[in-house]
Structure 1
Amino acid sequence: MVGIVIVSHSVKIAEGVKELALQMARKDQLIIAAGGTNTGDIGSDPMKIQAAIEAADKGDGVAVFADLGSAVMSVGLAKEMIDPQLAQRVCLANAPIVEGAIAGAVEAAMGSPLEKVLETAYGARNMEKQ
């Protein structure tokens, strides 16, 4: 099953997105929140993200969802710090963090491959709100 990592500058946002995604996906879907810094402050920490990616990988890949620019940069740094074979199975989703993570988690929980999880998450960009 594809693992999901939620990267936000805020611990509360990352945990909240994880909570919402788990409400929609199977309870055994692996979703790791990597929000804030190791001291609990607002920000992003490549080492925290690295640990989350490694914990989320069970061999089928990891879809990472990030909120803002420096979190995206921190994901890139984290990928540079992990084993190169694992890094090939890790993709940053080009999707909104909330809608994309929920859609991606549901798709992953159905046993879909990483490419399909990312495609579904990307599709959440066009979700109508009216």
Structure 2
Amino acid sequence: MTNVGIVIVSHSPKVAEGTADMVRQMVGEEVPLAWCGGNAEGGLGTSVEAIIGAIECAWSDAGVAILVDLGGAETNSEMAVEMIGEPRARKIVICNAPIVEGAVMAAAEASGGASLREVVATAHELAPA
């Protein structure tokens, strides 16, 4: 069985890498996982190309959940999904959830073989009302 992939997109490469490290330590290797953060110059920001690369790295036929930290990361993730196009875009969901807690909980759900819808729902339960 293939587990849902998780992509972490942060404006800070350190936040993205640290979150991915927490996910790995808590759920191990059974969840496809990738992260990206920062701009091409090494500062704060996000890159559509880097997000596409992270989606490709974490790709799963079960789908991919993307966790983002700020509006620019969400906008660039939306552009990345559009550029990937159908039919794969249908299997990619951007989660509106806290990035660290959302990534850990989504990955824990995915590691148990949950569907993309279940993984996203678990992440969204953490979103502020």
TM-score, scaled to structure 2 = 0.92
SS at match of 1:91: strand
Matches within 5 A, 1:89-100: 89-100=91-102
**Aligned residues of 1:26 and 1:106 also touching (Cα < 8 A):** no
Unaligned runs of 5+ in 1: none
Percent identical among aligned pairs is 41
- Distance in structure 2 (CA, Å) of the matches to 1:73 and 1:125: 18
SS at match of 2:42: coil
Matches within 5 A, 1:26-37: 26-37=28-39
SS at match of 1:7: strand
Counterpart AA for 1:103: M
Paired residue for 2:84?
82
Residues matched between the structures, number? 126
SS at match of 1:4: strand
Paired residue for 1:117?
119
Counterpart AA for 2:124: Y
- Distance in structure 1 (CA, Å) of the matches to 2:14 and 2:104: 16
The RMSD of aligned alpha carbons is: 1.2
SS at match of 2:6: strand
Deviation at 1:28, TM superposition (A): 2.8
Unaligned runs of 5+ in 2: none
Paired residue for 2:7?
5
**Aligned residues of 2:10 and 2:37 also touching (Cα < 8 A):** yes
- Distance in structure 2 (CA, Å) of the matches to 1:70 and 1:94: 13
Counterpart AA for 2:73: A
TM-score, scaled to structure 1 = 0.91
**Aligned residues of 2:33 and 2:57 also touching (Cα < 8 A):** no
- Distance in structure 2 (CA, Å) of the matches to 1:13 and 1:46: 18
> 2:74 aligned to 62, 72, 75, which one?
72
> 1:19 aligned to 12, 18, 21, which one?
21
SS at match of 1:70: helix
